[in-house]
Structure 1
Amino acid sequence: MNLMPPSTDPNGPLFHKGWYHLFYQYNPDSAVWGNITWGHAVSKDLIHWLYLPFAMVPDHWYDINGVWTGSATSLPDGQIVMLYTGDTYDVVQVQCLAYPANLSDPLLLDWVKYSGNPVLVPPPGIGAKDFRDPTTAWLSPDGDKWRITIGSKVNTTGISLVYETVDFKTYDMLDGYMHAVPGTGMWECVDFYPVSMSEVNGLDTSVSGSGVKHVLKASLDDDKNDYYALGVYDPIENKWIPDDPNLDVGIGLRYDYGKYYASKTFYDQKKQRRILWGWIRETDSEYADILKGWASVQSIPRAVTFDQKTGSNILQWPVSEVEELRSDIVEFDNVKLGPGSLVPLKVDTPSQLDIVASFEIDEDAFEGTVEAEADAGYSCPTSGGAANRGTLGPFGVIILGDKTLSEGTSIYFYVTKGANGKFETHFCADELRSSLAPDVDKVVYGSKVPILHGEKYSLRSLVDHSIVESFAQGGRTVITSRVYPTRAVDGAARVYLFNNATKVSVTASVKLWNMGSADIRTFPLNEL
């Protein structure tokens, strides 16, 4: 969900912009940031975009306070239905229906709101402000009805309500909840979709049965993070059961351990893949955003698959179209990094890069490793960042650094020996020295990442002026960093390899591509 596109800000992202995509944005003509409307854009390749006129604006009593998050469903007869949350005059969250005015229009420029809106209101026991964000619909077991789920809460328990419909105008709420997790608070932007356990392609939302896991995801309003879990869906009982109760929705795995929220997937029928969108918020002050004239951007779209190697998580990876922006590759092979090493890498456009790096530690280094580091339990957010040294880390890359490293964002691995005697790897992004600006959040993000026997430590980072999206081990763990360097800008930025471990040497191999900017401009409507 884009809010406002970067324009003339030299430190703004240039290839993080954002087929056909609806997004919500704030209308600057109302209040400070104004009411939410639905903008829309079109692209043939997910990289080059044309802005289209507003798709929907708050102009009825049932959505006058905002046209909020919604989802589209493509029906077998070619019709498209859009369900979205409206915020009413009296601040009640309701679900509304809209259709394209002209299905023969490939741009779907005009949308018509159903005259009978709203089609759903909060049921008994659900708060007026706790009923929002309908999902894409999937078929019921007998194939004659459609189901959607909507996020909500009861006291502090996050829940997903499920409704059935034939025509998307009238609905029956199914008994109970599809799933509920105590203590997780309000679930918004709920998403629910299947992933194949044996294939690398994505699946249509209605696919179910053997060989399929279902992902249930919720954006937790309390902490503004996106959590997901893998599980099994029983469509007859309308129940979803997590594979691991300790990794349930809201208490376990996250899509992204950085600044990433309100995400949504869709199924790409043409290339048979599931694509994930996410919203990258700002971490500077609201005053700075007003001066810029824009705030927040869309993440690079990611393809989502089941991790067949671990069987316990999904993989997220930038869509292949991103590689069309690459040029001028530079490679550094078998770079030896002794304890305390810092090695600069010469690149032409260090503020717009696609970096792929791998690291190896000598197997002998694991023998006799002290356990004291793990006794207290290592955690990226509380670790103190890349400056704190241990026997087996940290090691990785520093991007958007200046010549003296007064600024720099470190993306790194840190290996510890757990209390159970097993080694654990943490993937972290250290923003503590990312900017000299005083009004910027500077934190350390990250989490554990599974490393299987024989695997190198691998990362990919998309660097885009003030945004870094980093993927460890093929996308098992992902971190989005929103940083605002003041000195490490454009040609003044630097890239470094580092090994801050105290005992071991690391061998690194790196490929760096310069990245072009995504093309995004207003559609020439006068040519229609």
Structure 2
Amino acid sequence: MECLLQKTKITMLSNCLILLMVGQAFSIPKTEEVTWYPTYHLAPHKGWINDPNGLIYHNGYYHAFFQHNPENIPEGTKHWGHARSHDMLNWEYLPIALSPSLEDDIDGIFSGSAVNLNGKLTLIYTGVSDNLNKQRQMVAISSDGVNFEKKGVVITKEGDESYFRDPKAWFQNGSWWVVIGSQTTDKLGEVLLYSSKDFFNWTYQGVLAGGNGSLGYMWECPDFFTINGKQILVISPQGLEQDGFNYQNLYQTGYFVGNWQPEQNYTIEKGFREIDHGHDFYASQSFLAPDGRRIQISWLDMWESVFAENVTGWSGMFTIPREISLNEFGDLVSKPIREIIGKRTPNTDIFDTIISSNQMLTLKNNVFSSEILIEFNLLNSSCKAIQLSLKEEPTRDEGVVLYVDIELSRLFMERYYPKYGIDKTNRSVAIDLSLSKLSLDIFVDSSSIEVFVNDGIAVMSSRIYPNNNQRKFSVAPVDGFVNVSLTSYDINVNNQ
């Protein structure tokens, strides 16, 4: 996936330049101290990242590759950066895995995936050339998991090759399969399917799934996998129009639920739904952990965002790796990986109390690298709304607010950092308040917030840019009292 290809090349070049200019237009006031580099999220020490690529567990390591520009330029030529980990939280950064070098990838190394091919870590990726007009699928192989030898082009597309990218490969029923994001001649998004016996000679199997005018003009970063006997197709469509509370970001990432077997059509049972409802979530990719868990990681950013951190030499980060499952209603459930429990400090803040009407209570004074588990007893509460804030003082405007609207049965997230060009905007998700309790598992890591609602039935993820004095976490009921319990931890991780 690539910024310059999201609409027309000219339009997006203009947009990306605006992003860069906005990011460089401000400077951090000398009176402010900021700590924006994350503790337990994967982010570059230097340079730019966007989509996660090549996620795989191989020979004792979790590998994460990523779209990377070493010079920290969003629209710059993309490489594949590389990191590995034993637990998906402590990451060791390795040399750049793939750089433009061949005729077919000279303009960039776009997104792709990784497989174990005869014991070797093997990458399939989109090589870009001809001023971004040619996008072809290419392969590179490593014997040591660090250094890669390119094998050249393995899949091309007849006709227009400018919207043909992001291969996701897997092995099933004695064959290799790959899905690739594409666009029809009518400029509608679609996902194409190919198969191979050897990973180098591929046969076109047709369109796995295609959209209509309501599902955008391009489907990027497809992912296709099985959970509970159902086949899940994840896509990142471009061009969806906002629909009420839905599709409020520039681009979305969501999923279909259906049935598919080799040589059969994909039958969709549940239509497109967003995975995450925050400001920043895109280009998901998943893989299997050794114990069979399906792990999903996404880019915790969005293309229209102001990347305020770029003045400190880096831009972009990934979400917490998430264990995903399908519940009995066919809904995708996302939970933070269980490995994070081992990174909690033993010192915890714990309390259970009733907060009176319009009273404000500070739950935690310094939220930098934290997990906050908060539960509201709805049977023992009378308020019309609940407000949680991460600010210098709860009554001040700048910062982040989580707002539980009891009457609308929605959770809103609002952020506002005017000095960094981030206007006041909110995102929201429907929540089930017929239950006796509402639980929020909130992760704040320097410049991000991720909120898991009711054990992961909904998630909201956004980038935030507080200074070091804007990290007071408070709660207040609106027009009534609320029964709240809280447990909080600091998360300690050492990335190399």
So what's the TM-score if we normalise by structure 1? 0.76
Name the counterpart of 2:128: 87
Q: Does structure 1 retain, via aligned residues, the 8 Å contact 2:110–2:128?
A: yes
Name the counterpart of 1:209: none
- Cα displacement (A) at 1:300: 1.1
* Counterpart-to-counterpart distance in 1, 2:120 and 2:396: 55
Name the counterpart of 1:512: 488
Name the counterpart of 1:215: 232
CA spacing shift, 1:216–1:109, aligned 2, 3 Å: same
Name the counterpart of 1:73: 115
- Cα displacement (A) at 1:12: 2.8
Matched, 1:187 2:219: yes
More strand by share: 2
Number of residue-to-residue matches in the alignment: 433
Name the counterpart of 1:380: none
Name the counterpart of 1:10: 35
CA spacing shift, 1:401–1:226, aligned 2, 3 Å: farther
- Cα displacement (A) at 1:166: 1.0
Name the counterpart of 1:226: 253
Q: Secondary structure at the match of 1:322?
A: helix
Matches within 5 A, 1:49-448: 49-75=91-117, 77-91=118-132, 92-100=134-142, 102=143, 105=144, 108-114=145-151, 117-124=152-159, 127-139=160-172, 143-154=173-184, 155-184=186-215, 185-196=217-228, 212-222=229-239, 223-241=250-268, 243-244=269-270, 248-249=271-272, 252-269=273-290, 271-281=291-301, 285=306, 288-308=308-328, 311-327=329-345, 328-333=347-352, 335-347=353-365, 349-362=366-379, 392-393=384-385, 395-402=386-393, 405-416=396-407, 425-432=409-416, 435-448=417-430
Q: Does structure 2 retain, via aligned residues, the 8 Å contact 1:264–1:277?
A: yes
- Cα displacement (A) at 1:404: 5.1
Q: Residue by residue, what CA displacement relative to the aligned partner does 1:370-402 show, whole Å, maximum 9, x if unpaired?
A: xxxxxxxxxxxxxxxxxxxxx732x14222443
Q: CA RMSD in A?
A: 2.6
Q: Secondary structure at the match of 1:520?
A: coil
- The one-letter amino acid of 1:16's match is H
What are the ranges of 5 or more consecutive residues in structure 2 without an aligned counterpart? 4-32, 44-61, 240-249
Q: Does structure 1 retain, via aligned residues, the 8 Å contact 2:111–2:126?
A: yes
CA spacing shift, 1:290–1:514, aligned 2, 3 Å: closer
CA spacing shift, 1:181–1:137, aligned 2, 3 Å: farther
Matched, 1:23 2:47: no
- Cα displacement (A) at 1:352: 2.1
So what's the TM-score if we normalise by structure 2? 0.81
Name the counterpart of 2:16: none
CA spacing shift, 1:485–1:9, aligned 2, 3 Å: closer
Q: Residue by residue, what CA displacement relative to the aligned partner does 1:55-111 show, whole Å, maximum 9, x if unpaired?
A: 110111111111110111224x424432100101342111101111x1xx3xx1111
* Counterpart-to-counterpart distance in 1, 2:74 and 2:438: 46
Q: Residue by residue, what CA displacement relative to the aligned partner does 1:450-482 show, whole Å, maximum 9, x if unpaired?
A: 45x544111111011221111111111111121
Q: Does structure 2 retain, via aligned residues, the 8 Å contact 1:284–1:439?
A: no
Name the counterpart of 1:473: 454
Matches within 5 A, 1:450-469: 450-451=432-433, 454-469=435-450
* Counterpart-to-counterpart distance in 1, 2:265 and 2:120: 26
CA spacing shift, 1:318–1:400, aligned 2, 3 Å: farther
CA spacing shift, 1:78–1:164, aligned 2, 3 Å: same
* Counterpart-to-counterpart distance in 1, 2:38 and 2:181: 32
* Counterpart-to-counterpart distance in 1, 2:261 and 2:198: 23
CA spacing shift, 1:58–1:356, aligned 2, 3 Å: same
* Counterpart-to-counterpart distance in 2, 1:441 and 1:330: 33
Q: Residue by residue, what CA displacement relative to the aligned partner does 1:220-264 show, whole Å, maximum 9, x if unpaired?
A: 2333221112222243323231x23xxx22xx3333433011111
- Cα displacement (A) at 1:162: 0.5
CA spacing shift, 1:364–1:403, aligned 2, 3 Å: closer
- The one-letter amino acid of 1:118's match is V
* Counterpart-to-counterpart distance in 1, 2:325 and 2:116: 22
Based on CA coordinates, which of the two structures has the bigger radius of gyration? 1
Name the counterpart of 1:208: none
* Counterpart-to-counterpart distance in 1, 2:74 and 2:259: 44
* Counterpart-to-counterpart distance in 1, 2:190 and 2:169: 17
* Counterpart-to-counterpart distance in 1, 2:113 and 2:277: 21
Q: Secondary structure at the match of 1:183?
A: helix
* Counterpart-to-counterpart distance in 2, 1:512 and 1:32: 35
- Cα displacement (A) at 1:160: 1.0
CA spacing shift, 1:306–1:455, aligned 2, 3 Å: farther
CA spacing shift, 1:346–1:467, aligned 2, 3 Å: closer
Name the counterpart of 1:207: none
- Cα displacement (A) at 1:14: 2.4
- The one-letter amino acid of 2:424's match is K
CA spacing shift, 1:505–1:235, aligned 2, 3 Å: farther
Q: Does structure 2 retain, via aligned residues, the 8 Å contact 1:427–1:477?
A: no
What are the ranges of 5 or more consecutive residues in structure 1 without an aligned counterpart? 197-211, 366-390, 417-423, 522-528
- The one-letter amino acid of 1:514's match is D
* Counterpart-to-counterpart distance in 1, 2:337 and 2:484: 25
Name the counterpart of 2:58: none
Q: Secondary structure at the match of 2:105?
A: coil
Q: Does structure 2 retain, via aligned residues, the 8 Å contact 1:458–1:472?
A: yes
Q: Secondary structure at the match of 1:175?
A: strand
Q: Percent identity?
A: 24
Q: Does structure 1 retain, via aligned residues, the 8 Å contact 2:381–2:481?
A: no
